[in-house]
Structure 1
Amino acid sequence: MSTIPQIPDSAPFSPEQRAWLNGFLAGIFNRAPVAGSQPATLTAQLTPLTILFASQTGTSEALAKQAAKEAGKRGFAPAILDMAEVSAEQLPNHANLLVITSTYGDGEPPDTAKALHTVLREGSHAFAGLRYSVCALGDTNYTLFCQAGKDFDAYFEKHGATRISPRTDCDVDYEAPFNAWLDTTLNALGASSAAPVPVTEASPPSAPVAYDKKNPFPAPVLAIRNLNGPGSAKEVNHVEFDLTGSGLVYEAGDALGVIPQNCPDLVSAIIASLDCDGEEAVPTPVGELPLRTALTVHYELGKPAPALLELLNVTTPVHHVLDALHATATKPAPSAFVATLKKIQPRLYSISSSPKAHPTQVHLTVGAVRYELNGLPRKGVCSTFLAERALAHGTAGIFVHSNKAFRPPADLNAPIIMVGPGTGIAPFRAFLEERAATQAPGKNWLFFGDQKASSDFLYQNELTALQSAGVLTRLDLAFSRDQPEKIYVQTKMLAAADELYAWLEQGAYFYVCGDASRMAKDVDAALHKAIELAGKKSPEEATAYVQSLKTAKRYQRDVY
């Protein structure tokens, strides 16, 4: 067994350069000579490989780095590129291409991929010499599952590229299908006829436990408090976790993954529908457990998978697993039933604290989801786990999900404009704490909105204190139900178009957090209109101006 040296993260290279160098070293060391042969040289032939990613929350970027690491071990020289950095004219220069992209909202590509997506959809290009494969990330709870990946796959084929292996569409539990796709594709690209040499990687003898999605940290729940006042139609909770001893590190702009548990009432209703008592032994990802425990801790009980509908012979539309059981007289065996369920998935929430302000804690701002459907009360899995049971339970499994595409500017003098209605305020609370802790001289402007000022002004005391301290330069509020005509954050943006444009001209960064399908689209339209009005630009010129902000990473969105 040999050990592959790695370029440390502290080395003065970009992530793409570091990935290429690590891949190069892996290729060299995987060609280490057997006893008596000539020593390996730096003239070893490595196969160029470009890994093109588009990420909204950082997952695709992380998988691109994982792919580069594996490709380096197999004799490739990988280079990682963000789709924002590549034009359609440059693509034919990349003979071997892996495309990893997420989908969000109504089947939309990530922000960094929109320009390339549009050009490939509408233009005519010659990709005859390009070999490619696509891994698409998505969520089957959305109608247009993995649509961005499907689009890119079709566009490359339309322009003459050769698909080297079939596209893989990954649901939220993406690890296994991603690894299978990567293995198949790298084999198909055939960098080397020789099998890669098994390697082990060096790690410190006393390396601490690494907590991640597969091994979450059981974080003590310190506090959960409701942020709404009397009479609110909403329930938004501030949640605090203790990170002491975890080794977890996060930055303002990152997300926190929380492993939820299902509602006991829902679990009991499902067990009753199966005519079971809950003590039946069933398989789980960690071995056999009682049915009640398995349904509470290990399986999703929301939208039923096609396999469950087939097992129950249900052909009518249903929304949840319990609906499917109510729609049939079939009573499957407990083990057959759980075999059709998906593994419970973590929920990602924008972190609402700065580690500089809370070095041993991490905070979230979570709206509890509750509604009625078909005569039954429904609950958001994780939001109500946090609201109702996490504090009594004592701990919750968590991990940090890095999102380098959503960060306060490194230049502390740069002004920032933040648009975050409702729980979209979460990362901007973190940004403001960060700017206060670093004594950043740059100006800070927040647009916040909700339903009523009297009951839905989240973090009101904190924001007014930040105003008094001079950290929050300007605060524009939009409470939609406090007057006959509804006012939203985009309304306030247009009313302040001249100053908003002036801030952008001064180098301001523009941030948006919240709902992708409606709010973010309306805010984007208002931004274009404000630039048209205040900048005296045509719609086409305003579009080009916004695109220049995106290219400079001065327009960043954390939308879902």
Structure 2
Amino acid sequence: MNTVPIIPESAPFTADQRAWLNGFLAGVLSRGQAGEVATEVQEPLLILFGSQSGNAESLAKKLAKEANGRGFQARACGMEALSPADLSKEKNVLVISSTWGEGEMPDNAVAFWEGMNLNGSSPKLNGVRYSVLALGDLNYGETFCLAGRMLDERLEVLGAARVHPRVDCDVDFDDAAKGWSEGVFKALSGVAEKGKQVNEVVVVESESESGEKYHKGNPFPAALVKNVKLNGEVSAKDTRHLAFSLEGSGLVYETGDALGVRVKNCPEVVERVIKGYGFEGDVLVSVPKLGEMRLFDALTEHFEVRGLMGKLPEKQVEVQEWVGSLRKLNPRLYSIASSQKANPDEVHLCVGVVKYDVDGVGHKGVASTYLAERCVEAGGFVHTAEHFRGPGGGGTPMIMVGPGTGIAPFRAFLQERQATGAKGKNWLFFGDQYRVSDYLYEDEIEAWKADGFLTRLDLAFSRDQVEKIYVQQRMLEKGEELWKWLEEGAHFYVCGDASRMAKDVDAALREVVAQHGGKTADAAAAYVAELKKGKRYARDVY
């Protein structure tokens, strides 16, 4: 066989373009001089993802690119696009799944998971080879990576053969995910590469997948240009509108995306931790990939210190050993509250400052208090959220439920529609505690309502009356009209608290469909499931 040329990295192409050209040239030269097609067939590989915030989806797509470079015919696919029975037609399946809420499946994986557990109808997966990468957060204890663990166990029960052990990842998942993928490819080695020359393996590490200069590994130093308290003086809350400059960054974001922000620990908290452990802040410690630095600086910028004061050792520990046991201080993700079409050189956030007392001891959120009280410039990057996009057509009706800081992406959606002249109807459900002090972005929202751009506006201020009222109750009150909008093709969006609000809104939506659509509870649930499958029902919950 002819030797396949490799487009050198010095050539004026992006990594994706080089990969495509290499594949194209490989296909051309795999044909004989008489035009005969080579007999090698690429081994198929399905990379299936269940994603809530976009991490699993991003990993799956990146892995598919790498797998194609290793000789596989790989494709990444969301779980909403397949049924479990479809897996019986696959030979090699890699599953990447996040977990959200209290150990729940991602929204796009719910129907798939239910299909894997139908009595008497679950597919037989004998002959399917698989491995699972589970994403989660160790702070959730027993439910850590639960969705991935359940998928792994169920695939085995249905007869699939595990080719590599499942790996459970904490929020700092990059290294663990890389180790898992290397293990998987080693386990599958010889399958795809037998009799086939493997060319350049495309692994994007120094740049983002879109080729941007600034990304998670190299965030842009964004100057904070605006910090405005959105609540009134009598409010019990402190919600900030924050604007960061993107001038000169080249960063591009879409409505629905999140901004990843590098944060720092409170200096006073760091000092208390260092003193409590009997260390000196100026002692030098080694930080992986960064080298030596002062302990104070390492704890301020690179490691989690929450809760450390309650875990003091009975005897003195060696400082470097102790540092090696700490969790990495990871970036925080915030829903973007602006449209780049309306704000070309800025990105906006809506952040609720977290402060509370436990047994008389004050506590505060690491990220929110840093951004609200100490930030002047922060490292930022765009976190793509393909699952939470506005309707593709400008004429499509849009229903948005976003109480509290959940208003953030819907401010962006509305700015975008206004900037592009979209004619679709817009309906916003917003709520908080008191109208007089907690009506976030009141002037903008009321202006949109006054000029007709915001077709409908329903407000729920829970404490303005004796009986508390929430957005889900407003949905039920307007159920008949809401049902009409859904039947007209409206897209339905929810943003905010996952533990209660999002679940109550989902229950209210099903009730609206059942009552005004004349459906049974099961039929209403199926209708809502179809909305999700058709990407007309999306949630950005936390």
Give a deviation string over 1:325-358, Cα, whole Å, max 9, x none.
Answer: 2xx3322222122111111100000000000110
Determine the structure 1 residue equivalent to 2:144.
145
Matched-pair contact (CA < 8 Å) for 2:212–2:251: no
> Aligned pair 1:376/2:372, yes or no?
no
Would the aligned equivalents of 2:47 and 2:75 in 1 still touch at CA under 8 Å? Answer: yes
Q: Which residue in the other structure is 1:282 paired with? A: 285
Residue 40 to residue 427, structure 1, CA distance change in 2 (3 Å): farther
CA contact (8 A) 2:66 2:202 kept: no
Residue 195 of structure 1, CA deviation: 8.2
CA positional deviation for 1:41: 6.1
1:515 and 2:518 matched: no
> Structure 1: how far apart are the matches of 2:390 and 2:522?
28
Task: Summarize deviations over 1:270-314 as a string: whole Å, max 9, x none.
Answer: 111122331000111311101111110111112xxxxxxxxxxxx
| Gap change, CA 1:272 and 1:84, over 3 Å in 2 | same
Check 1:289–1:527 CA distance in 2 against 1; reply closer, same or farther (3 A cut).
same
Match of 1:552 in 2: 534
How far apart are residue 525 of structure 1 and its match? Answer: 0.1
Residue 42 of structure 1: how far off its partner (Å) = 5.4
- What SS class does the counterpart of residue 530 from structure 1 fall into? helix
Task: Give the secondary-structure state (helix, strand or coil) at the position aligned to 2:132.
Answer: strand
- The answer to whether 1:135 aligns with 2:130 is no
| Corresponding residue SS for 2:85 | coil
- Distance in 1 between the 2:203 and 2:62 partners? 14
Of residues 327, 330, 346 in structure 2, which corresponds to 1:342? 327
Identify the residue that residue 386 of structure 2 maps to in structure 1.
Answer: 404
Residue identity opposite 1:215 in structure 2: N
Counterpart amino acid of 1:177?
A
The answer on 1:62 being equivalent to 2:58 is: yes
Amino acid paired to 1:276:
F
Change (3 A) 1:532 1:324: same
Q: CA deviation at 1:197?
A: 4.3
Is 1:295 paired with 2:280? no
- Equivalent in the alignment of 2:427: 445
How far residue 373 of structure 1 moved from its aligned partner, in angstroms, is 2.5
How many residue pairs end up in the alignment? 523
Q: TM-score, normalised by structure 2?
A: 0.91
Select 1:480's aligned residue among 457, 462, 477: 462
- Kept in 2: contact 1:133–1:167 (CA 8 A): yes
Give distance in 1, aligned partners of 2:34 and 2:92.
30
CA distance in 1: counterparts of 2:444 and 2:479, whole angstroms:
26
Identity, in percent, stands at 49
AA matched with 1:532: A
**What code does the residue aligned with 1:104 have?**
W
Give structure 2 stretches of 5+ with no counterpart. Answer: none
Does the C-alpha gap of structure 1 residues 448 and 459 become closer, same or farther in structure 2, counting only changes over 3 Å? Answer: same
Residues 334-385 of structure 1 show CA distances to partners (whole Å, capped at 9, x for unaligned) of 2122111111100000000000110000000000111122442111111110
Q: Contact between 1:4 and 1:26, CA under 8 Å: does it hold in 2? A: no
What is the aligned partner in structure 2 of residue 322 from structure 1? 309
Aligned counterpart, 1:2? 6
Q: For residue 105 of structure 1, what is the aligned residue in structure 2? A: 101
C-alpha distance 87-200 of structure 1, shift in aligned 2 (>3 A): closer
Cα 1:243–1:42 shift into 2, 3 Å = farther
Q: In the alignment, what sits opposite 2:522?
A: 540
Tell me the secondary structure at the aligned position of residue 334 of structure 2.
strand
Q: Contact conserved, 2:65 with 2:202, CA < 8 A, in 1? A: no
CA contact (8 A) 1:27 1:77 kept: no
Match of 1:305 in 2: none
Distance 1:40 1:217 in 2: 51
TM-score (norm 1): 0.88
Query: Against the structure 1 CA distance between its residues 558 and 51, is the aligned structure 2 distance closer, same or farther, given a 3 Å change threshold?
Result: same
**Cα 1:101–1:250 shift into 2, 3 Å:** same
Note closer, same or farther for the CA distance 1:346–1:32 as it changes in structure 2 (3 Å cut): farther
Counterpart AA for 1:158: V
Question: 2:158 corresponds to which residue?
Answer: 159
Which residue is 2:123 aligned to?
A: 125
Q: For residues 384-463 of structure 1, what are the structure 2 equivalents within 5 Å?
A: 384-390=369-375, 394-463=376-445
Give SS of 1:165's match: coil
Letter in 2 for 1:513: C
Select 1:53's aligned residue among 49, 52, 61.
Answer: 49
Q: How many angstroms does 1:51 deviate by?
A: 0.6
Where 2:287 maps in the other structure, the secondary structure is coil
